[in-house]
Amino acid sequence: MRIALAVSFALVAAAPFFGRWRANVWLRKNMPAERTVDTVPKAA
């Protein structure tokens, strides 16, 4: 039970960082490079 609690806490703590990383990867794939350079610092 303690291990499951630790794993769930780690997932909750990492979720915002992982979500932002996924969004940055998606933006780089789907937008021109000059637009991602402008938008990523504003989002962060």
Residue 31, domain extent: 2-43
| DSSP code at position 4 | H
What pLDDT is attached to residue 39?
A: 56
What pLDDT is attached to residue 44?
A: 52
The total domain count for the chain is 1
Give the C-alpha separation, 37 to 3, whole Å.
40
Residue 43: pLDDT band by 50, 70, 90 thresholds? low
Tell me, yes or no, if the pTM score tops 0.75. no
Question: What is the DSSP track for 7-44?
Answer: HHHHHHHHHHHHHHHHHHHHHHHHS-HHHHHHHHHHH-
Give the C-alpha separation, 27 to 16, whole Å.
16
Nearest by Cα to 21 from 3, 8, 32, 29: 29
Give the pLDDT confidence of 4-40 residue by residue, as tens digits: 999 999 888 888 888 888 888 887 887 665 555 555 5
What pLDDT is attached to residue 24?
A: 84
